[in-house]
Chain A
């Protein structure tokens, strides 16, 4: 079963614009992670935010976490064509395994 649900399912933007993706989950978590997947490089870890953190930055990525609403958002600023991929949120409920959502397909038009 999949715990996370990403929103929107698909997103198409122009290069240089910002992309915002949302994730909702159902149970208490230890941390939440975002991954990117494309055919060329497989599934790549982007960023991890712990349950006691509210916001985290890494390069052009900004992730927020609202545990009261059981939701997270991933912001990619100044998008590039190379950001075109599927993005997944994954929750860790402190039992080590990750529970992934269905993913968001991001297309960045040059």
Chain B
């Protein structure tokens, strides 16, 4: 079956511009995660949804970052007034169960955001 898909794959934004990144999780997966990966670093957690509920947004770096998953499927990560330090790859992952012992996450290919 299809894996996690993300769009766009690449996004170039001018500083101050708003961007929206989309994630389509694997069908039926309850949990959805967003991570930010800077160049040469490991992914860092941003936020987590269980169905449509945003249960953890502790990793969002500022109030310019906003994520939603209104129908418990597709999710959008929005970044307002982008800054150069927002340049990174944004990864989306989904998992079948609610977490815990068997929390294998399936990752999408990521969106590479470059802010000029």
- Could you tell me if A97 and B42 are in contact, using CB atoms closer than 8 angstroms? no
B41-56 CB mask vs A (1 if < 8 Å, else 0) is 1111100101000011
> Which residues of B have CB within 8 Å of A92?
99, 103
Residues of chain A having any CB pair with chain B under 8 Å: 1-2, 4, 30-31, 33, 35, 42-45, 48, 50, 88, 90, 92, 94-103
Closest to A96 in B: B99
Task: Report B44 CB to chain A, min CB distance, Å.
Answer: 7
Q: How far is the CB of A45 from chain B (nearest CB, A)?
A: 5
Number of A-B contacts (CB under 8 A): 72
Contact B48 A96, beta carbon cutoff 8 Å:
yes
Main secondary structure of the interface of A (DSSP, over half): strand
Interface size on B, residues (CB 8 A): 29
> What is the bound-complex CA distance between A106 and B48, given in angstroms?
30
B56 to chain A, nearest CB (A): 6
Q: Could you name 9 residue pairs across A and B whose Cβ atoms are closer than 8 Å?
A: A30-B101, A42-B109, A43-B110, A45-B105, A94-B99, A96-B103, A100-B42, A100-B43, A103-B42
- In the complex the two chains form, is A102's CB within 8 Å of B41's CB? yes
- Return B40 CB to nearest CB of chain A, in Å: 8
Q: Does B59 contact A (CB under 8 A)?
A: yes
Return A47 CB to nearest CB of chain B, in Å. 10
Digit string of B18-34 for contact with A (CB within 8 Å is 1, else 0)?
00000000000001010
Q: Given A42-B109, A102-B42: A97 and B56 within 8 A (CB)?
A: yes
